[in-house]
């Protein structure tokens, strides 16, 4: 798919959505919601609902395209919501794909502690966010994208392994 030295915007978009899918699988396998999390049917990580929606459209690279695609898929966000513009009371997050870097990476301290104790995973949401933003800005090197995907895959395997012992 790639030239080993150069990634195109299409490559970055594909890789971002692939990483997002891996993150979604990871959080669904973990299936944890803390005391203060807005509840949803399937775990998607944590909602950074103390923040207004983190809009990537102002980021150079593929951010604007992802935001446009998000609007086509999910409609325009509701403005001036107390929580994220894509959060609906009683439903939770509407976004399955095309989530912002913050939405894909943020977890609460309870979940961070749970990941460490239950699965031995030291999750650093700042580092995850940094990797995602490098991809959005079309600045990530291919080797780093591959390593990031491999790390998430290892997390998924660890969670599945622990969960299979229940």
Domain range summary for the chain, segments of one domain joined by +: 9-138
Pairwise CA distance, residues 83 & 44, whole Å: 16
State mean pLDDT over 12-31.
94
For 162, half-sphere exposure in the C-beta direction (CA atoms, 13 angstrom radius) is 17
Q: Is the per-residue pLDDT at 124 higher than 70? A: yes
Q: Output the pLDDT for position 93.
A: 74
From the list 37, 71, 39, 73, the residue with the least C-alpha distance to 55 is 71
Using a 10 angstrom Cβ sphere, with 0-12 exposed, 13-18 middle and 19 or more buried, the burial of residue 103 is buried
Using a 10 angstrom Cβ sphere, with 0-12 exposed, 13-18 middle and 19 or more buried, the burial of residue 25 is middle
Q: Output the pLDDT for position 115.
A: 96
State mean pLDDT over 148-166.
95
Task: Say how far residue 90 (Cα) sits from the centre of its chain.
Answer: 21
CA separation (Å) from 134 to 14, 21, 140?
A: 14, 17, 5
State mean pLDDT over 36-46.
57
Q: Which residue has the tokens 């919501």?
A: 81
């Amino acid at each position: 798919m790639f030239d080993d030295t150069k990634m195109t915007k299409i490559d970055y978009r594909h890789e971002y959505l692939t990483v997002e899918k891996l993150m979604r699988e990871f959080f669904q396998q973990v299936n944890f919601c803390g005391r203060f999390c807005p509840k949803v049917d399937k775990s998607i990580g944590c909602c950074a609902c103390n923040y207004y929606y983190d809009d990537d459209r102002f980021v150079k690279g593929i951010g604007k395209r992802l935001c446009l695609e998000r609007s086509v898929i999910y409609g325009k966000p509701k403005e001036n919501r107390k929580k994220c513009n894509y959060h609906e009371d009683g439903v939770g997050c509407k976004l399955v794909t095309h989530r912002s870097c913050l939405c894909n990476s943020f977890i609460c301290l309870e979940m961070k502690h749970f990941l460490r104790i239950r699965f031995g995973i030291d999750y650093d949401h700042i580092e995850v966010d940094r990797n995602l933003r490098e991809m959005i800005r079309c600045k990530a090197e291919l080797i780093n994208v591959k390593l990031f995907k491999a790390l998430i895959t290892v997390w998924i395997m660890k969670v599945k392994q622990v969960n299979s012992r229940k």
